[in-house]
Structures are given as structure tokens and as C-alpha cells.
Amino acid sequence: MTLKQFTRYASLHGADLDRWPANAAHAAQELLGHSDEARAILADAALTDALLDEATNPAVSLEREQRVFERIAARIEEQGVPDAVPWFIAKPPLRIVPTVGFLAMMGFLGFMTYHQGIITLPGAARAPDLSGVMIVSSLGGIR
């Protein structure tokens, strides 16, 4: 194992070699036996692990945390629900009407645009060639 690989594993998995993949941990043990740089890298990873462990342990008591949650719940209850709710945050039965209306209008506009000839499909104005006739005949039953 090279020092670059060792540094990468120490950054990813920390100083505890039990968290490393088995083959990498074995190679790291061998490298630690004869490399002062590897031991320094592992010591730095151990320091980082200690700082992260201390940072993840909250210094707030459970009672204080519970008081904060209760105050948040009380503030939410104080605000209540307004009488008029905008349609875009309304409950689902009310939200489907604008969506259906929008989709119906878009379908109608698309149909009218195609029907008026503003947008044409490629090959729509040409007479069908042999492959088009064969497809129609195989689907329609006309031979």
C-alpha cells in the first residue's frame, strides 16, 4: 500500500482499522510497521475522529430539547390555519381541478394548432409509400 492510498483510506474510514476493508487494513498494518509518515497520518485521523465524535454528541440536555419542541408546537398552534388557502397549497381534492383544466386547455390548443396546419408532422402531407400502405393494411385488415 502506498502512502497516497493509506491517506485516502484514513480520510474515508478514520483511524480505527476495524472500519477499513479487510485487505486494506492488513496492508495498512504492514505499512504502519515501518513508516513514520503513515503513523503520523493515522494519528491525524484519530484526532479528526475525536473531534467528530465530540461534535456529534450534543451539549443540550433532553429537558431543554423538550422545552424547545414544546415552544415550537405552541407557536404553530398560535398561528392556526387561515380561512382562505391558495389553490396551489390546498388539499388534493381541490388541486385536481386546476391541473385538469390546464391539461385540457393544452390538449385543445395542441389539437387546434395541428388542425390549422401551423405545425405539421414530418411526412404528413406526402402520400403514403409502400411501407405506410403495408402498415395500414396489416392493422386495418385491408389486403
Residue 97 lies in a domain: no
CA gyration radius, the chain: 35
> What is the number of structural domains in the chain?
1
pLDDT of residue 82: 66
Mean pLDDT of the region 62-81: 86
Q: Is the pLDDT of residue 62 over 70?
A: yes
pTM above the 0.85 mark? no
Residue 117 lies in a domain: no
C-alpha grid cell, residue 27:
496492508
Residue 23 lies in a domain: yes
Residue 71 lies in a domain: yes
Residue 18 lies in a domain: yes
Residue 59 lies in a domain: yes
Residue 7 lies in a domain: yes
Residue 95 lies in a domain: no
| Position with higher pLDDT, 123 vs 119 | 119
- Domain span holding position 28: 3-77
| Position with higher pLDDT, 47 vs 142 | 47
